[in-house]
Amino acid sequence: MSVECPTIAEFRARFPEFELVPDDSVQVYLDDACGVLSKALFGETCWKRAAFYYSAHLLSTALRTRANSQNGVTSAEEAGLITGSSVGSLSLSYEGSGGEKSGAETWFDGTPYGRQFFVIAGECVNYNTLAGYARGF
C-alpha cells in the first residue's frame, strides 16, 4: 500500500480553521511537506498524519509571520516575552526558548501543529534517527 500526499479536501476536513486560506496556498504547504518528509523514516502508518501536521505548521507559521510583518511586529517581538536577561556577556531569554531543546524542537514549538508533528515523530521515529536527520525529515 502506497500512501499518497494529503489532498486539500482532507486537509480542510482535519483543519477547518484554515477555511479562509486559498486552495493554492494550502497546496504549496502540502507539496512542501510531501516533498520533505521521508516515508521510509516515518513509515506507512504515520507518514500521512505527519504530513498533515507538518504542512499545517508551515502554513500557520507563514500566516503568523505575514500578519506580524503587516502589523509592524519585529522578529524579536515574535520570539515571545522576555523571561530573563543579564548584562555581563549579554544574555537574553524569551518565553519558550532555552532548555534542552534542539533548534528544530524550538521551531516546532511555535505552533500547536508543530508540537503535534513532534509528538507524531516521537511515536513513529527513533529519536536518535530524528535528531540526526535534523531538518531533513
Which domain, by its residues, includes 60? 1-15+25-65+112-118
Given a contact cutoff of 8 angstroms between Cβ atoms, the answer to whether 42 and 121 are in contact is: yes
**What does the pLDDT read at residue 76?**
46
Least Cα distance to 51 among 74, 35, 71, 73 occurs for: 35
Q: How many domains does the chain have?
A: 1
- Does any domain span residue 54? yes
- Does any domain span residue 70? no
Grid cell listed for 53:
501536521
- Does any domain span residue 87? no
Mean pLDDT of 87-112: 59
**What does the pLDDT read at residue 130?**
55
**What does the pLDDT read at residue 45?**
84
- Does any domain span residue 58? yes
- Does any domain span residue 134? no
d(CA 67, CA 42): 32
- Does any domain span residue 56? yes
Give the start-end residues of each E strand in 42-81: none
d(CA 25, CA 89): 43
At 131, the pLDDT band (50, 70, 90 cuts) reads low
Note the pTM of the prediction, 2 decimals: 0.70
Cβ neighbour number for residue 36 with a 10 Å cutoff: 14
**What does the pLDDT read at residue 58?**
92
- Choose the weakest-confidence range: 57-71, 87-101, 119-133: 87-101
pLDDT digits (tens, 9 = 90+) for 69-95: 655 544 544 444 444 444 455 544 445
125: helix, coil or strand? coil
Least Cα distance to 136 among 42, 36, 33, 49 occurs for: 36
Least Cα distance to 29 among 44, 38, 40, 18 occurs for: 18
pLDDT digits (tens, 9 = 90+) for 8-55: 999 999 999 999 999 999 999 999 999 999 888 888 889 999 999 999
